[in-house]
Amino acid sequence: MSVAGSGGRIQPGRPGDPSRVGPYRIIGRLGSGGMGVVHAGLTADGLRVAVKVIHPAQAEDQEFRARFRREVQLSARVKGPCLVPLLAADTEAAEPWLATAYAPGPTLNQHLAGHGPLADGTLYAFATGTAQALTAIHQAGVVHRDVKPQNVILTPAGPRVLDFGIARASDGTSVTRTGVMTGTPGWISPEYYRSSTAGPEGDMFAWGALVAYAATGRLPFGTGAPDAVAFRVMSGDPDLVGVPERLREILERALAKDPSERLTAAEAGEACSRLLAAQATQVLGGEGGLEPTQVGELVMNEWDMPTLDDPAWHAPSPPSRGRAVLAVLVAAAVVGGVAAGTALAFRGNGDGDTPARTGVAERSPGGPAASTAARPNAPASPARAGGPGGASTSSVDPRRAVVPSDPLAGVADPAFTRAGETTEPTPEEWRASTVASTSEEKDVEKAIRDRMTAMLATKDMAFMTPTVTFNKRAQTVMVTGGPVSQIPEDDQEVFRRAGDMAACTALAYRLKDHPTTWPYGRFVISWKNVDGDLEPSVLGFGEATDGCYSVIAGQWHGDESGIATAAIPSSDKAEIRVADAADKAITADWNARTAEDDGLVPLAAGDTIDLGFDPVEGAAYVWARDTSGGLIGRAQRANFQDAASTILCRKLTAEYRSNRAWDYTRWSVAVYEGNSGEPELIGSGECAH
């Protein structure tokens, strides 16, 4: 039962269907199956989601519930291109559920039945995109084990691989019934038939069959009784007649009987991206591999699927940052309620399971930046340098660079003359902006792009490549993202905050160094919803003369945006390692304190202490879920803040001194009371380094 969508059409609800599931309003059904029902849902801001709710009979089966919990854990672990992101889940509810972003479009099976095989650029984009998806899955230490046409949706923005119902970790752990064959005949590898061995190589065998099927409309090992299909898989040659020659060579390697002879998902993705580039340009693309951003652009440009819509979907309301943050926090709280789910998302185990970060100066669309001063030691590691052009030297640690909080102070005749204006730049001004033309503009463009990419990459969001343009008349730099189909609002919010910080710091340095010649002091962060969008959504805007960090009375403070970003899992190995060590140490210290002091109340069973990072403001967040009220009193909270900040600063400082790419020196501690989805921040500060 796929959760992402069902061709874009909503079926009417039935008696007994819920009106809400978690934070989502239910407006109909997308499909149903033996496991449960997939509902069409909407967030408060109109984001379309698909919500899988398990049948009560299945929910009563503890073995099934364990398998479902495993599905949620593995889905949360995997992020990347051509996948459908998990938004929230509750595996311990009476009727367990999970929600993903909605992916409109038919399955590969449905498309082939109605329109025939894929061809030309669309075929190569399909092969490239699905290989990229498997690369992300395998790099997360997961084996899909059910790659088949029913589990690939052809959305207008590209193919999407889904359904981790029988996936397993590559370390061998799974919750599949012993002795039960999992997978679908025709999409099972030879080694699995022989010895039940299921590794990444098995996924690649199924991928080869999948792409062959997409290219020809025929099952590569034919149809018939399952044992006959199994015999052909183990002993026969696949039917690849009609597959383009260069693609056939790749598929033959993927379909090798010996798993050791198969190419990896990454190798398949690179090989197919070359075919895609050749299709796009009619020449093969060089010796070196294409950058991931180039591959993503090629898939989008060559993909040819109609845009689908259904009047039953309610038109989304204009984006609201306040509501977006709340939605993120609600989703984080829901996922945090999943047994073992929080540990998966925020307690790194070496497989990439840890939260990331967020936190720029709070700026609201239509208003200036809220911060008024710069952080004394602005986080700007060599990879995230915020100086002019992003330049740094080996003799000066760029992390200690001071971002000017008032770069035009004392300047009698600055080139930037629109300081203090609160009028939001218009779509006409955005359309009139142009690409960088001078060396100074190109330096700033590079500084913004490099820093944004570095911040977004820690959250597996580097695919959101920004476009930076300039409008000299409006004295404004435009940072634009999109389009990305069905992108979660929390990801879009991270893009806004990263763009906010990158643009603000780059412009602040330039204004400080060249106040009488540099005309740009304002910036706008926008998002295109479709290609050719002439009026992109404005996510936020501000100016670099107001300061770039959230500082109150000279002291940095964490905020809800920061903790929302911190709750997004990180893909950075150093962050995962530090988070795991700090989380365990803080939990152990708090348990020891409550055991020794009768005045302190330990957390209730099931409550957790979690840790995540905000790359935008270089901050680590620690939060506790307190359902029993043990952290209500002032003394309790003071002790908890002391335990968390002391250990966290020790870990952050040690990493800062040994790792020049590490720029986290701030901390903030929060508590979620009861079942509240909104955190209460109880302390913030900076660690001595």
Q: Is 146 a catalytic residue?
A: yes
DSSP 17-31: --SEETTEEEEEEEE
Amino acid at 80: G
In this structure, the chain runs to a length of 689
d(C-alpha 340, C-alpha 119), whole Å? 44
C-alpha distances (whole Å) from 598 to each of 586, 591, 595 are: 19, 12, 7
Note whether 444 and 477 are within 8 A (CB).
yes
Six-digit token string for 41: 């849902």
CB atoms within 10 A of CB 129: 30
Q: Which of 69, 43, 211, 14 is nearest to 131 (CA)?
A: 211
Angle of CA points 498, 499, 505, to nearest 5°: 90
Amino acid at 198: A
Catalytic one of 45, 120, 146, 397 = 146
d(C-alpha 310, C-alpha 137), whole Å? 31
DSSP 497-525: HHHHHHHHHHHHHHHHH-TTT----EEEE
Note whether 568 and 359 are within 8 A (CB).
no
DSSP 673-688: ETT-SS-EEEEEEE--
Q: Which of 383, 618, 374, 382 is nearest to 507 (CA)?
A: 374
Q: How far is CA 98 from the centre of its chain?
A: 17
The gap between the terminal CA atoms of the chain, to the nearest Å, is 52
Environment class of 597 (CB within 10 Å of its CB; exposed 0-12, middle 13-18, buried 19+): exposed
Widest Cα–Cα separation across the chain: 85
Catalytic residues: 146
